[in-house]
Structure 1
């Protein structure tokens, strides 16, 4: 992590030493025009590697309680300063291993689900913490050929959180799956309107096409499909 931190233009941080993992940190994106107010907070958390308890929970590791507590305390601590922003402040989160809720095939999805969701077998409750703190979107990687966004809802059926995959872009991992081309998810964020548009672009072929373009946040809140 020290090497990554030292690279030109890197915003990466190792994060607090007392937390599980390395790379638990935030990035504050300031508003336009030289403003000192944050318009967007990006939370980044380490999702670790393989399960520490294969007998009980096979597969991959999960976000630990001290990480989730840190996230909640950080979000709550920033709330007052974010209220000083003249527009609507938004929060996003990025992780590597998907949350267990990504497996829910009953959720509305936009995009391709081509392989099994390799989420942890133990659910430590991070999805609920994200919703509680008003995060509008979480994005993950790990499953290279999954590239959908699914909409998680609250108990009253209103949109709660978009859960997206970033798409498999790098050549360091597998691709394929029946003609699947490597791709990357992009986010266009309008700070003034508190609006987020997302789509994917291909590595080759029709590289200008905005695949599965959709509005996921409007007026600072997650919105459902328009069709």
Structure 2
């Protein structure tokens, strides 16, 4: 059985579908693990969420990311300007337009979304922070390297952590697969080619970044684990 790991789709539904076709995904034979950030920046967040909901119903592991957190903060605190500004600065407007289209100026978008997308919101609110197997840990952003037990990492760190996770030790005894930070940016941190957005295994050999920068028009990656080997496929957003 193959394990297929995809991160940071960010509303790029057509790219997501092309990637699933390219890897010949078979729900009866493959285990699919999605690492969060399904929404924002891309124009087709609704289509991505509906497809992710379908995949979850058919056995996919669906984890949450920081963009799902920002969306829920905007949704649950409609009167807090700070949360709204933060969300829209990070591409939230594309998600609202995808969910509601053009709405009346006096409408309350949060209320409309709550009424219209009950099942999708239930899925988003129920997303786990990590998934663990005997060999690996799958997470959106990373784990707190200072925790003796990585499972006690805060939700904020599971979904937002960056440098502290990259530079800290990995005492879990397992390989960690994560998204959140485009691999080109990570490569720059290590003095490598920042134009390369393919999956990137850090120098420790036990942490692999998957985010291909689809949110910024780069590519969507799928890491494929099978019989102890790791390979990958990708689709360019602009193809």
- TM-score, reference length from structure 1: 0.33
Looking at secondary structure, tell me which structure has more helix per residue.
Answer: 2
Looking at secondary structure, tell me which structure has more strand per residue.
Answer: 1
- Determine which structure has greater relative contact order: mean sequence separation of CA pairs < 8 Å that are 6+ residues apart, divided by chain length: 2
